[in-house]
Amino acid sequence: MENQTIYFKHAPRIVATSTIAGPKECAGVIGRYVETALADDTFGESTYEKAECKMLTHVIGGAIGNAGLSPSDIDMIVSGDLLNQIISASFAAREFPVPFLGVYGACSTMAEALAAAATFVDGGYIRRAVAATGSHFSSAERQYRYPLELGCTRPPQSQWTVTGAGAALVSREGDGVKILSATLGKVVDFGITDVNNMGAAMAPAAADTILTHFRATKEEAGAYDLIVTGDLGALGSRILKDLTWEKGLDISANHVDCGEIVYNVIEDEFQGGSGAGCSAVVLNSYLYSKLMTGSLKRILFVATGALLSTVSSGQGESIPCIAHAVTLER
């Protein structure tokens, strides 16, 4: 398919958002914008998985409340997360009497969920949907890598999974940030097998989706105040800028990466933040605020995901990746 970009005729809008994040995240630049700052990353729960689910439940309810609505006003929850069988999203959805569309796009989930929610709303099938995702450093570490108790050394190309969650309420009516189009990504695999180097694995997928988007829309990079990737980190962002530049698209002047800006990198965060919660928190706090107050007018939000599992890596597979893009405008 040459043209992967879909346009939303009625420009569904994000009328409210909600975010929550852990202490390490809130120490960074986004701290001032996050709605609920956790002093304790267990959120009062007995396990990290339950804490992750509680964060997601909190922001789904928060976005509904911030819009002045109740759960019965919502027609669909579109959500997913990084845990096996997306239990954070499924168990969070259990708390709401609302139809649930479970999605999986690893760290690309925020963009995937927004694109799906916007499609259902724009087509007139439903009035309102909540798109949400999150992640937790400690649940991700023990599922994807090693038990924290083992105290493994982290390599310098690694990133730090964001403890946090974000939700956006997408509505056919109301005042907010418009969703103009979505470019859903293909699965791109450049043969990277280093599971500590997600930025390098995901950068080609981000490049593919961004290049596809600009080919379809015939826009210049300057048409966007920001081209925001999800969690490529510092190394992945450099690779992305090289890959797009090689294809004749210079995004260096207006590219930022949520993973690069989420932390004050002072210890083991190395390349920056990652995880489904990374772009979800930055979009729904910092970026949404800048769009609503007019500091930003138009952004391309490109969340990226690495579609590996411990089993696929253990069986010698490389890391297939994906990136979905959404155009947001105030």
Query: At closest approach, how far in Å is the CB of 149 from its own copies?
Result: 17
Rounded least distance, CB 118 to its own copies, Å: 10
* Residue 316: exposure state from Cβ atoms within 10 A (0-12, 13-18, ≥19): exposed
Binding to its own copies by residue 216, rule CB under 8 A? no
Nearest 5°: phi and psi at 202?
-85, -25
Nearer to its own copies, 7 or 245 (CB): 7
Torsion over CA of 311, 315, 317 and 319, rounded to 10 degrees?
20
Q: 48-66 and 137-144 are packed helices; what angle lies between their axes, rounded to 10 degrees?
A: 140
Decide: is 52 part of the binding site for its own copies (CB under 8 A). Answer: no
Distance CA 88, CA 49 (A): 7
Q: Is 137 in the site for its own copies (CB under 8 A)?
A: no
Exactly one of 37, 65, 66, 99 binds its own copies (CB under 8 A); that residue is 99
Q: Is residue 110 a contact partner of residue 303, using CB atoms and an 8 Å limit?
A: yes
* Segment interacting with its own copies (CB under 8 A) among 120-128, 220-228, 252-260, 274-282: 120-128
Q: How far is the CB of 241 from its own copies (least distance, A)?
A: 24
Does position 157 interact with its own copies (CB under 8 A)? The reply is no
Question: Minimal distance in Å, beta carbon 90 to its own copies?
Answer: 4
Token pair listed for 120: 């259902």
Choose, by CB under 8 A, the member of 61, 62, 105, 275 that binds its own copies: 105
Rounded CA gap, 60 and 130, in Å?
A: 7
Tell me: does residue 140 bind its own copies (CB under 8 A).
no
Tally of CB atoms within 10 A around 74: 24
d(CA 154, CA 83) in angstroms, rounded, equals: 21
State both tokens at 330: 């105030």
Taking CB under 8 A as the rule, does residue 230 contact its own copies?
no
98 part of the interface to its own copies, by CB under 8 A:
yes
Q: How far apart are CA 298 and CA 277, in angstroms?
A: 22
Min dist CB 138 to its own copies, Å, is 13
Q: Which is nearer to its own copies, 188 or 243 (CB)?
A: 188
Please report whether residue 103 would count as binding its own copies according to CB under 8 A.
Answer: yes
Closest approach of Cβ 266 to its own copies, in Å?
31
Enumerate residues 255-314 that contact its own copies by CB under 8 A.
307-312
Q: How far is CA 305 from CA 95, 108, 137, 168, in A?
A: 27, 4, 16, 19
Both tokens of 195, joined, read: 């599971």
Centre a 10 Å sphere on the Cβ of residue 254 and count the other Cβ atoms it contains: 16
- 116 near its own copies, judged by CB under 8 A: yes
Among the listed residues 51, 106, 169, 206, the single contact to its own copies using CB under 8 A? 106
Binding site for its own copies (CB under 8 A): 1, 4, 6, 47, 49-50, 72-76, 80, 83-87, 90-91, 93-94, 96-106, 112, 116, 119-120, 122-126, 143, 184-187, 189, 307-312, 315, 317, 320, 322
